[in-house]
Homo-oligomer: A and B are copies of this chain.
């Protein structure tokens, strides 16, 4: 690795687009999580795919790590340059290249954020449904295989990326997928790059599948006596084919936190928050069918509304729940867990997590995308107290062990980065070795986001 020569070449080739300022390096060494900072040696702001190819070519020549950066909102340290090297910040590649209305597709540069895209789509009758909490970049969302509250209806990034343009470890530009809605032509390279966290290539353009803005939307909220009642309601709802657009769980601790933070008066019980998309008659029918199912499972206070203000208040509360929970313990930092299990095991997984956290003395309100079997316990930790931090980490480990034992995964939507690397052997066995072989084939010098996702190069 010859970082200084790479920087010389980058400066000569990209001039003002290369930043070596300490504040910039420090900023790009941060993450949203509790991982230690790891500033890169340089940050480069490309404006074109050709410049990205040039950056990677230079880094390849000098065997210097290249790490892609969108908005820096990933939760497992995916964008941290843990072996130093060059961060490629896609902020300036933030153009919606085109929107094909009849095809319901859009081509975007990787730095476009999901909110910016939806702003641009507003007048078209279309929208891009995937919504992780943060206003993340679409390149970053693809790289981490992000999802969020709407995945139960619209799928994750895996389902909503039709094709990609990417720069390989050799600095070559490839195009994957097409603008057609399906293809049986060869290996699914699009699917391979989605979720690869920048370890196989740098995404320089995305072709996204868009959805039609629904004619009508209704939102609903319902309280339950127990988490099990709420989860059984979800299972019955899915089984009878109700196409919920969102179905979110908040446990009692989460409800208490949002009541205080968002000035709500929800009963201090587990709640489901829902949204239905469809025709006017359709959403009314869906909401009423759901109400009947909830009543069968001791649901109470069921209420649904189609007024936009009521919906906005509900989902603002939900999207702020993370901050509400953080505010519930001033000074604490969060370890955000992310397990996903078969839905039949969801109540068991949540109840066991709850009991374990009580035993461990770690506060951990639970929120979940329960239609997918995915939930987060937000472990609130005083990171200055090493024994507390280690108790919390041990509880997070046990959550993952439990998820895997129940047939689930260590991460439903946050990805691996550095935070979940330790679970890969346990989850994938020989499959993890296969991932290492794929990485070696496509990035023989190990320059693309090294130290992430695959086994350490021996």
Contact = CB atoms under 8 A, between A and B. Distances in A.
Interface string A21-63: 0000000000000000000000000000000000000000000
A227 to B, nearest CB: 15
A311 interface: no
A412 interface: yes
Listed residue (A235, A431, A432) with the most chain B CB atoms within 10 angstroms of its CB? A431
Nearest to A176: B431
Interface in A418-458: 420, 423-424, 427-432, 434-435, 437-438, 440-442, 453-454
A362 interface: no
A416 interface: yes
B184 A144 contact: yes
A135 interface: no
Interface in A180-232: 180-189, 191-192, 194-196, 200, 211-215
Given A186-B195, A407-B178, A415-B184, A104 B159 contact: no
A246 interface: no
B435 A187 contact: yes
Interface in A341-363: 341-344
A337 to B, nearest CB: 13
Interface size class of A (residues with CB under 8 A): 35 or more
B183 A340 contact: yes
A281 B283 CA distance: 11
Nearest to A344: B102
Interface in A320-377: 338, 340-344, 372-374
A10 to B, nearest CB: 24
Interface of A: 100-105, 125, 144-147, 151, 155-156, 158-159, 168, 172-176, 178-189, 191-192, 194-196, 200, 211-215, 235, 238-241, 243, 277-279, 281-282, 285, 289, 338, 340-344, 372-374, 403, 407-416, 420, 423-424, 427-432, 434-435, 437-438, 440-442, 453-454
17 contacts: A102-B343, A104-B239, A144-B184, A174-B434, A178-B408, A180-B374, A181-B340, A182-B374, A184-B414, A184-B416, A185-B411, A185-B428, A191-B192, A192-B438, A215-B241, A241-B278, A434-B442
Given A103-B343, A185-B416, A185-B420, 17 more contacts: A102-B342, A104-B343, A145-B183, A158-B182, A158-B188, A176-B428, A179-B342, A180-B408, A184-B414, A185-B427, A185-B428, A186-B432, A186-B435, A186-B454, A189-B428, A213-B241, A281-B281
